[in-house]
Structure 1
């Protein structure tokens, strides 16, 4: 068994799916943001400014900033309705049409009667977008909140802007709980760059596609043909019997995780291949892989689904 990112035709393309400009609360123009990502070696970028009234509901047309070897996906960070903590929803939508209808969200304060977060997420998916639950830890997202976004394709497992700005970058806890409930979600790492602090070039997706075009990239994202990274490369993953075989760039740890407390790590120096036993994953029907390098940077696979296993609450050996 191999994840689709390593069996699909094509090659890997590096891109950031969460970025802001002067069209909302970023400090650089859309053109300059695109230039910086292109010159940093990225293959694609989604500019996702805050889609609220105080910024005139920007859905920025970045097609003029495409060039040979660099493309853009059109998108926005959507806001409408309140989470359980009363704060406004933040939902990432990549691949939106330019005529996507705005909600009645005028500011970052939720108002009664607004379209809900689940509703605007479902509307974005219906419009053709790849939709992700943004920065769960920073947002104070509850499991009940996360369960309600039934249309989402993905969860941000890492948000570099939230790492730089408030040390709340994580989405793994919420993602793992949703996976344990059977949600077939993928995991994305992003920058959420505003360029007002060191919040850029720190988290990205590596998307497997036959060509670097918006159409091919968006289709691959929806299929889950990618992995996410802060630096390490994942070159292959195979599940054979009761072990996961991982090929990667030089790593000090390769960890397999499943539901509950199920996890197993293999450790060493400059490992480029690791065989991780899966007997401690408690029969989990899904597993995911983290690769960690000597600098502590991580790469994350998407969840790999296996046959239904036994009760995860059974006694551990």
Structure 2
């Protein structure tokens, strides 16, 4: 069994799916945000400003910043309704149409009569967007909240801005519980960059597509043809019998995780190939793989569903 990202034709394109400009609460204008990502070697970016009335419900037109080697995907961070803790939902939507209808979300606090988070997420998915549960740890998201967001394609498991600004970057607990309840989800690492602190160029996706176009990238995201990383690279990944085979850039550890406490690690020096037996995860309905390099930077495969 070889996951989609390693089985399909094409090449990997580096992209950030969560970024803000001065059209909401970021400090740089959209042209400069795109210029910086392009200059840092990214192939694409989604500028996802806060979709609230305070900022005029922006879906930023980044089409002028595309060129032969760099593209953009339209998107927004959606807000509507209250989570269980009473705070406003944060939902990442990449691939929104420019005319996506606003919710009644005047600011960063819930108001009576507005759409719920699950409702606006469903509407975004129906409009063609790739939808992710944003920064669950930072938001104080409960499992009941997460369960209710049925339209999500993915969980944001690493958010660099939440790491640098709040030390609450994680979404793996939410993801793993949902996977163990039978949800079919992928995972994304992002920046959530505002450029007002060192919140940029710290987490990204590597998307496998045959061309660097918004349409091809969005299709690949929805198909799960990508992995997420802080630096290490997956070159191949496959499951054969009771063993996970990994080829990668040089790392210090390869860890296979499964349901509950199931995990198995292989440690070494400058590992580029690993064969990890499914000792504790043999009966798990899903698996995922983490790479860790000598600097502590990680890469994460999407979950592998085993039926």
In the alignment, what sits opposite 1:61? Answer: 61
TM-score, normalised with respect to structure 1:
0.96
In the alignment, what sits opposite 2:217? Answer: 217
Per-residue deviation, 1:282: 5.1
TM-score, normalised with respect to structure 2:
0.99
In the alignment, what sits opposite 1:41? Answer: 41
Per-residue deviation, 1:149: 0.3
In the alignment, what sits opposite 2:273? Answer: 273
In the alignment, what sits opposite 1:300? Answer: 300
For 1:41 and 1:281, the matched residues in 2 are separated by: 37
**Once the two structures are superposed, what CA deviation does each residue of 1:21-44 show, in whole Å capped at 9, x if it has no partner?**
000000000000000000101000
1:1-317 equivalent positions in 2, closer than 5 A: 1-281=1-281, 283-307=283-307
Per-residue deviation, 1:112: 2.0
Kept after mapping to 2: 8 A contact 1:259/1:282: no
Kept after mapping to 1: 8 A contact 2:242/2:282: no
For 1:65 and 1:122, the matched residues in 2 are separated by: 29
Q: Structure 1: 5+ residue runs without aligned partners?
A: 308-317
Per-residue deviation, 1:231: 0.2
Give the 3-state SS of the residue equivalent to 1:280 in structure 2: coil
Aligned length: 307
Per-residue deviation, 1:56: 0.6
For 1:216 and 1:296, the matched residues in 2 are separated by: 32
**Once the two structures are superposed, what CA deviation does each residue of 1:78-97 show, in whole Å capped at 9, x if it has no partner?**
00000000000000000000
Q: Structure 2: 5+ residue runs without aligned partners?
A: none
**Once the two structures are superposed, what CA deviation does each residue of 1:250-290 show, in whole Å capped at 9, x if it has no partner?**
11110000110111110011000111111211510100000
In the alignment, what sits opposite 1:310? Answer: none
Per-residue deviation, 1:305: 1.0
Q: CA RMSD in A?
A: 0.6
For 1:26 and 1:150, the matched residues in 2 are separated by: 29
Per-residue deviation, 1:113: 1.6
**Once the two structures are superposed, what CA deviation does each residue of 1:283-314 show, in whole Å capped at 9, x if it has no partner?**
1010000000001000000000113xxxxxxx
**Once the two structures are superposed, what CA deviation does each residue of 1:89-144 show, in whole Å capped at 9, x if it has no partner?**
00000000010000000010111221000000000000000000000000000000
For 1:87 and 1:236, the matched residues in 2 are separated by: 41
For 2:113 and 2:294, the matched residues in 1 are separated by: 50
For 2:64 and 2:281, the matched residues in 1 are separated by: 48
